[in-house]
Amino acid sequence: MSEAYVGWADDIGPVFLTQEQIQRRVAELGAQITRDYAGLDLVTVGVLKGVIFFITDLVRAIHMPVTMDFLDIARYGRTEQVRGVVRLTKDLTEPLSGRHVLFVEDIIDTGLTSHYILGILRHHGPASLRVCVLLNRPARRIVDIDLAYVGFEVPDVYLVGYGLDYRERYRNLPYLVQFERPKMREKSGESPN
């Protein structure tokens, strides 16, 4: 763990993925996406806020012209991860009709929220629509999502860092760590990410 983050040692658990592992995989994904979309009009779409670190690094690793856009959603209730009840709070600004869209996610577990967002994106009439996810957690999957690009398969553990948060904290860690405060999670009824 970097000295800059040593003061958080009581809040966070062991490093799950290092900054170097993440950046190496993002570079590999960027190279693959560059090959697959060469000569096409590519638009990346992410959901604020968790994806911001991943999508920024990914777009820099894509060596061709690419456009970025963002959606924002609000979740309802304490069981949103189980029920996937969301509403759109920020819509797209880029037109997607006839363009090749890459939906970029930080983590997909149940698939409910991603399924909802993919429905919104399909409504815009893209020429193609594929999904790139940094962390795929299939153990919690309820709705199948076709994933074109996967950074890492992860187990059912709570992770923070590199955009993932706990109550809006820890997003700025440059690596991913296990979050080990089970008493807090038990009290709030929260499940992993």
Residue pair 59/68 in contact (Cβ under 8 Å)? The answer is: yes
13 band by pLDDT with thresholds 50, 70 and 90: confident
The CATH number of 19-157 is 3.40.50.2020
Q: Where are the domains of the chain?
A: 19-157
Q: What is the pLDDT of residue 184?
A: 46
Compute φ and ψ for 114, nearest 5 degrees.
Answer: -65, -40
**Cα separation, 104 vs 166, whole angstroms:** 21
Which comes out higher in pLDDT, residue 4 or 87? 87
**Interval 148-155 mean pLDDT:** 98
Contact yes or no for 67/93 (Cβ under 8 A): no
Average pLDDT, the chain: 88
- Indicate the pLDDT class of residue 78, thresholds 50, 70 and 90: low
Q: What is the pTM of this model?
A: 0.86
Query: Hey, what are 108's tokens?
Result: 């997909």
- How sure is the predictor about 86, in pLDDT bands with cuts at 50, 70 and 90? confident
SS3 of 23, please?
A: helix
Residues designated catalytic:
109
pLDDT score, position 8: 57
Residue 107 bridge partners (DSSP): 135
141-151 average pLDDT score: 97
Task: Supply 114's token pair.
Answer: 């991603």
Instruction: Tell whether the model's pLDDT for residue 185 goes beyond 70.
Output: no
More confident residue, 159 or 81: 159
CA 28 to chain centre: 17
**What mean pLDDT comes out for the span 6-23?**
82
User: Edge-to-edge strand order for the sheet containing 12-17?
Assistant: 12-17, 176-179, 159-160
pLDDT band at residue 1 using 50, 70 and 90 as cut-offs: very low
Average pLDDT rounded to a whole number, residues 66-71: 97
pLDDT at 10: 63
Those residues with Cβ within 8 angstroms of residue 149's Cβ, 6 or more apart along the chain or in another chain: 29, 32, 33, 130, 131, 132, 133
Residue 177, pLDDT above cutoff 90: yes
